[in-house]
Structure 1
Amino acid sequence: MNFQNRKQLIVRTVDERGSVDVGELAELLQTSEMTVRRDLVQLAASGLIYRTRGGAMKVSLATDKHTFANKTATHADRKDYICQLAAQEIQEGDVIFMDCGSTVFRLCQFIRNKRITVVTNSLPIVAELMDAEVAVNLVGGEVDKERQAMHGLMAEEHMMRYRANRAFIGVDGISLEKGLSANGEKEASTALTIAKQTDKVYLLCDSSKLETNKYLYFAPLSLFDVLITDKEASPALVTAYREAGITLIN
């Protein structure tokens, strides 16, 4: 396949998925990762895609890549797969915590008809579940407009008043060596507080975050009980996590 054909397919794939890894493109194009990286450099120079550390992202997402809506759209198919698995773990009558992560948000569509109680600091989750069977408890506190969530001391005190059967939290990075990491203190603080008040903690994490390390290390792997990821995780990595004693569902 020549460059012009690869170019069209790369740009179309990035546009459809929001972001894509070098390995995924190499498999799709039936070419080497070295060739894909070279193509991405040329496409980025032309302004057609935004080059990321491990692949490429839509330019429109990259210009404001940390907003909640854009994070939710990234790897949407993987997140939906993860959340379908997570929804199967929830029992009628459960009280569950849901944090403000973009992956956790996508769980809403799979629990709308369950008679459960959701405690959350996420404004989009509240809006999504307002007309569902689910009873919703919104955590109080200061509003973080970028994350569309409630954070701060009052939010933590609110969460500490409740006990949940299960919690569903996201993470920015996870590694066997370092544990859990986040892009900032607010997300870390929420995860730590929720975990203390829950019988069983589920970490919802798409495979692109496995073996990545972010700005702030905030907890060991023992913070969660179950890791749910997608089918794109390499078999070798899945085996390594399980051999480390982690219960992993994918």
Structure 2
Amino acid sequence: MTTQEKKEFIIKILDTQSSVTVSQLSEAFKISDVSVRKLLAAMEQEGLVKRTWGGAISAYGSLNEFSHKEKEWKHTAEKLSIAYAAYDCISDGDAVFLDCGTTTTQLARVIRSGSKRKILVGTNAINIAMELSEAEDISVIVIGGNFRHRILSCVGAYAEEMMKTLFFDKGFISGNHLTLEHGFTTPDLQEARMKRLMMASCKEHYIALDYSKFGDDSLGLIASVSDLDGIVTDWRTPAPFIDQLRDRGVKVVQGNEVLSTREGMFV
């Protein structure tokens, strides 16, 4: 494969997912990590990608927002590992808030099939409420408002007013990106405002992000790194990045590589 073909291969990958790692490219191209880093450095100079911890991200800009359908089948193993790690943070009898998102949808499925019961789940995501509709021993509170068809979330003034009147033990909040410099961000400003209220309404909140979400910024700030209680991520997130988060006082829970089932819990 020529250098140009490798560049086209990387760009094609980043058209369908937000990041790629050095190790993935090294395996795909059968070249050393050093050679991959040199290639990514050259592509960054050409404005084709942005380099991150252990890889690169698309240079698509701060306004890009994938729909639920576009994200649903991306990084599924990583999202499932996050769901299991998040489930371990939940106790019987907890009141838990689940933000919209494909990772939190996985968590809803684990809650539905898991052994912990007497849980109350609040959510602003219609699909998450439906995931829990058959678990009659899991109470569900649905936050209503302006429905975002692509993301399956409810936002706006009505949703915000309702959110202000509820208080949960733990919250699991999704987003688009996180950097050490600028913090936790999302492209939509209404979503950013709603997520800030979610964080304020939870005694303890966790940001649920897979490895592909680190190293870039979206338009709207949700919270700085110093305002985060904890982050739940997967085994692919680079260790140096996790170390820096912990150095800043953020609790990091990291999921292990998993198969499609665990301890009889089908998702």
> TM-score band, normalised by the shorter chain?
0.7 to 0.9
C-alpha separation between the residues in 2 aligned to 1:93 and 1:86? 15
Q: Give the drift of 1:247.
A: 1.1
- Number of the residue aligned with 1:99: 99
Per the TM alignment, residue 55 of structure 1 is displaced from its structure 2 partner at its CA by 6.0
Where do 1:85-234 residues align within 5 Å?
85-113=85-113, 114-115=116-117, 116-132=119-135, 133-234=137-238
Aligned twin of 2:22:
23
| 8 Å contact from structure 1 (residues 200, 224) kept in 2 | no
With a CA cutoff of 8 Å and minimum separation of 6, indicate the structure with the bigger relative contact order.
2
Which residues of structure 2 form unaligned runs of 5+? 51-55, 59-63, 255-267
**Deviation readout 1:106-127 (Å, 9 max, x if unpaired):** 1112111432111100011011
Q: Does structure 2 conserve the Cα–Cα contact (< 8 Å) formed by 1:183 and 1:216?
A: yes
Q: How many residues align?
A: 225
1:43 maps to what in 2? none
Q: Tell me how far 1:72 sits from its aligned partner.
A: 2.4
Give me the whole-angstrom Cα distance separating, in 2, the residues matched to 1:236 and 1:22.
14
1:72 and 2:76 aligned? no
**1:196 and 1:127, CA in 2 relative to 1: closer, same or farther beyond 3 A?**
same
Contact 2:195 2:222 in 1 (8 A): no
What displacement does 1:101 show?
Answer: 2.2
Match of 1:46 in 2: none
Q: CA deviation at 1:153?
A: 0.6
Q: Distance in 1 between matches of 2:201 and 2:234?
A: 27
| 1:69 partner SS | helix
More helix by share: 1
**CA separation of 1:190 and 1:164: change in aligned 2, threshold 3 A:** same
Q: CA deviation at 1:27?
A: 3.2
Q: Could you tell me how far apart the structure 2 residues matched to 1:55 and 1:197 are? A: 32
Matched position secondary structure for 2:72: helix
Task: Output the CA distance in 2 between the equivalents of 1:70 and 1:112.
Answer: 24
Alignment RMSD: 2.9
- TM-score of the superposed pair, with normalisation by structure 1: 0.79
Deviations 1:184-226 (A, max 9, x none): 1122112111111111001111112223211122322233311
Structure 1 contact 99–120 (Cα < 8 Å) conserved = yes
Amino acid at match of 1:199: K
**Alpha-carbon distance in 2 for matches of 1:223, 1:22:** 28
Amino acid corresponding to residue 21 of structure 1 in structure 2: V
